[in-house]
Amino acid sequence: MAATAATLRETLSTIVGDAQVLVDEDAVAPYLVDARQRFRGRASAVVRPGSTDEVAAVVRACARAGITVVVQGGNTGLCGGATPDASGRSIVISLARMRRVREVDAANATLTVEGGVTLAAVQAAADAAGLRFPLSLASEGSCTIGGNIATNAGGTAVLRYGNTRAQVLGLEVVLADGRVWNGLRALRKDNTGYDMKQLFIGSEGTLGIVTAAVLALVPPPRERATALAAVPGLAQAVLLLSRLKDALGSRLTGFELMSDVAVGLSRKHHPDLPDPLPGCPWYALIQADSSVAGPALAADVEGALAEAVSVGVAGDATVAASAEQARRLWALRENISEAQRREGPNVKHDIALPASAIPAFVASCGGALAAAFPDARLVVFGHLGDGNLHYNVAAAPGVPAETLMRRAADINRIVYDEVTVRGGTISAEHGIGQLKREALARYRGPLELELMRRVKDALDPQGIFNPGKVLADAVRA
Ligand SMILES: Cc1cc2nc3c(=O)[nH]c(=O)nc-3n(C[C@H](O)[C@H](O)[C@H](O)COP(=O)(O)OP(=O)(O)OC[C@H]3O[C@@H](n4cnc5c(N)ncnc54)[C@H](O)[C@@H]3O)c2cc1C
């Protein structure tokens, strides 16, 4: 085995150059732990190819040697999908050197980029072309477009633009046998057989390596309105969402929900942040954009909110008077995760439900958790516009977090059972990785799991891509 590993290492060095095959413990260490430091693994090497041909040659060499491959982008994933397992038998392929913008076609509003380009760099390339790439995540400075595609990332503008899937027109993918599928088509209509790219989007590195993508761009916003509304209950929050959709149509970009506990934590750790509407159990952070310049957008947002307040759907509302005020309102939302991290570990859930089912879910799940875990407190926030809640269960102040963390499996069971009963999902935007593999097996039916397994076996019959992620490893003869 040692001889095989040494031979493979030599082959990899021949393909990418000695300097791009990392084996030194310190150099390899950052690739072996996930963003939340929840998962740690081992790897025989980290390889950093610089081109699609090099990725393909590395995969071919691994397939020949029976070595498994974990592909990594920015390593910001929240489910341990990019962390190798503990066996040490895998190599990690990092796409950090594949950062080329291959083509900008402003007339077609498309961009062709390599898989290792960061999301922020994609956004900058779109801006430079006078257009916009609408995907937006708090991790955008580090996460890569390959990782966004592999996780079908969501974020704060899904209400208007859809998930990553909706922004991808074409893909280039290195397959499990090292062949390269060139599906880099810049087309908005293409019903020519099965739409193969859809299989790779959201496949979390288990079916192929995304080495390049054609992305759809949109016109840049010329007007923006940001507002905060205080809402007395979740039923009213859902009604407010419907009213704003009605009044603003596709100009409604984001509708983020925050509980008072979530806002309180954000402000506790950033006391300079505003508290414009104190004393309400829920808050909606609203963003609307228009590509048409003029006062209509602000007037429509103000009018819709004033009506909502007049009928009691919102208690009060405030519209940001400047870009700086808007930034500070957004900071309330964007600092929640970081504030929670500083408070200590908590049991996180990235769930989605039909918006109409959310009030009943929160009431009933909150009741079940309070009965079973009186020492817990809920930190609820998320993208209500997409039915996506970050439903986090933390220890109440003064209670050691470990008490609760030890019972994470019981907490998950209550939350996921409640979600499933109401037609929801256990993973809205972060994926499955290794964190939710058992939950996926539990909450998706046997036929759906069999279909997933057949897709995996068809595209990766040797099981070389990302073992132990999404699906349990197949038992192979
Ligand atoms: C502060 C913070 C905020 C976040 N906010 C959001 C949010 O709002 N919405 C959201 O959806 N996510 C969010 N995330 C999660 C994360 O940023 C996304 O999942 C992101 O898409 C991962 O990209 P990455 O390049 O870091 O991928 P990695 O973490 O490197 O990998 C993630 C998965 O994709 C696979 N993969 C990576 N690159 C490729 C490739 N080129 N080809 C095939 N497979 C590949 C990996 O094997 C792994 O399974 C957040 C994370 C952090 C830390």
Instruction: Assess whether 324 and 348 both reside in one domain.
Output: no
CATH number for the domain including 209?
Answer: 3.30.465.10
At residue 473, does pLDDT exceed 80? no
At residue 50, does pLDDT exceed 90? yes
At residue 325, does pLDDT exceed 60? yes
What pLDDT does 476 receive? 55
Condensed to tens digits (0 to 9), the pLDDT of residues 436-448 reads: 999 999 999 999 9
CB 384 within 8 A of CB 229: no
Helices within 257-315 (DSSP H only): 260-269, 296-310
Beta strands 376-383; 388-395: pairing state: antiparallel
Nearest CA to ligand 1 atom 11: 153
Token pair listed for 200: 């790779």
Instruction: Assess whether 287 and 386 both reside in one domain.
Output: no
What percent of the chain clears pLDDT 70, i.e. is strictly above it? Answer: 98
Q: What is the mean pLDDT of residues 206-234?
A: 97
Instruction: Assess whether 195 and 165 both reside in one domain.
Output: yes
Read off φ and ψ for residue 388, nearest 5 degrees.
-100, 115
pLDDT band per the 50, 70, 90 thresholds, residue 475: low
Instruction: Assess whether 139 and 70 both reside in one domain.
Output: no
Domain boundary among 94, 124, 144: 94
Nearest CA to ligand 1 atom 28: 75
Condensed to tens digits (0 to 9), the pLDDT of residues 137-148 reads: 989 999 999 999
Centre of ligand 1 to C-alpha 473, Å, is 22
What percent of the chain clears pLDDT 90, i.e. is strictly above it? Answer: 95
Centre of ligand 1 to C-alpha 411, Å, is 25
CB 150 within 8 A of CB 210: yes
Please report the atom of ligand 1 found closest to the CA of residue 146.
41
At residue 400, does pLDDT exceed 60? yes
CA distance 3 to 195: 42
CATH number for the domain including 68?
Answer: 3.30.43.10
Quote the strand ranges of 90-222, DSSP E.
Answer: 91-94, 101-105, 110-114, 168-174, 180-183, 209-216
What pLDDT does 474 receive? 65
CB 316 within 8 A of CB 305: no
Instruction: Assess whether 238 and 206 both reside in one domain.
Output: no
Condensed to tens digits (0 to 9), the pLDDT of residues 14-27 reads: 999 999 999 999 99
Instruction: Assess whether 106 and 212 both reside in one domain.
Output: yes
Please report the atom of ligand 1 found closest to the CA of residue 116.
41
Centre of ligand 1 to C-alpha 143, Å, is 6
Out of 143, 209, 342, mutate this one to test ligand 1's pocket (max ligand atoms within 8 Å of CB): namely: 143
In a domain, 365, yes or no: yes
Structural domains in the chain (count): 4
In a domain, 429, yes or no: no
Nearest CA to ligand 1 atom 44: 205
Calculate the alpha carbon distances from 172 to 152, 212, 224, 448 in Å.
Answer: 16, 5, 35, 27
Condensed to tens digits (0 to 9), the pLDDT of residues 165-177 reads: 999 999 999 999 9
In a domain, 463, yes or no: no
At residue 153, does pLDDT exceed 80? yes
Residue indicated by tokens 């960061």 = 118
In a domain, 395, yes or no: yes
At residue 1, does pLDDT exceed 50? no
CB 173 within 8 A of CB 184: no
Instruction: Assess whether 231 and 314 both reside in one domain.
Output: yes
Instruction: Assess whether 229 and 297 both reside in one domain.
Output: yes
CA distance 391 to 460: 34
Q: What is the mean pLDDT of residues 334-358?
A: 95
Centre of ligand 1 to C-alpha 102, Å, is 22
User: What angle do the packed helices 323-334 and 260-269 form, to 10 degrees?
Assistant: 100
CA distance 247 to 27: 54
Instruction: Assess whether 205 and 131 both reside in one domain.
Output: yes
Entry pTM: 0.96
Sheet of strand 110-114, all strands in order from the earlier edge strand to the far edge: 101-105, 110-114, 209-216, 168-174, 180-183
Give the residue numbers spanning the domain of 153.
101-216
* Rg of the chain in Å (alpha carbons): 23
What pLDDT does 200 receive? 98
Helices within 74-128 (DSSP H only): 119-128
Centre of ligand 1 to C-alpha 153, Å, is 7
* Contact residues of ligand 1, CB 6 A cut-off: 35, 70-78, 81-82, 95, 115, 137-139, 143-144, 146-148, 150-151, 153-155, 204-205, 209-210, 337, 429-430, 433, 466, 469
At residue 7, does pLDDT exceed 90? no
In a domain, 199, yes or no: yes
Nearest CA to ligand 1 atom 46: 82
Domain boundary among 181, 216, 251: 216
CATH number for the domain including 354?
Answer: 3.30.70.2740
At residue 373, does pLDDT exceed 50? yes
Measure the CA angle with vertex 359, ends 357 and 365; round to 5°: 90
Rounded to an integer, what is the distance from CA 232 to the centroid of its chain?
A: 29
At residue 92, does pLDDT exceed 60? yes
What pLDDT does 6 receive? 79
Instruction: Assess whether 126 and 170 both reside in one domain.
Output: yes
pLDDT band per the 50, 70, 90 thresholds, residue 477: very low
Instruction: Assess whether 282 and 349 both reside in one domain.
Output: no
Read off φ and ψ for residue 179, nearest 5 degrees.
-80, 160
Sheet of strand 45-47, all strands in order from the earlier edge strand to the far edge: 21-22, 45-47, 91-94, 69-72
Q: What is the mean pLDDT of residues 321-338?
A: 95
In a domain, 20, yes or no: yes
Instruction: Assess whether 142 and 181 both reside in one domain.
Output: yes
Domain boundary among 374, 399, 421: 421
Token pair listed for 68: 């498994």
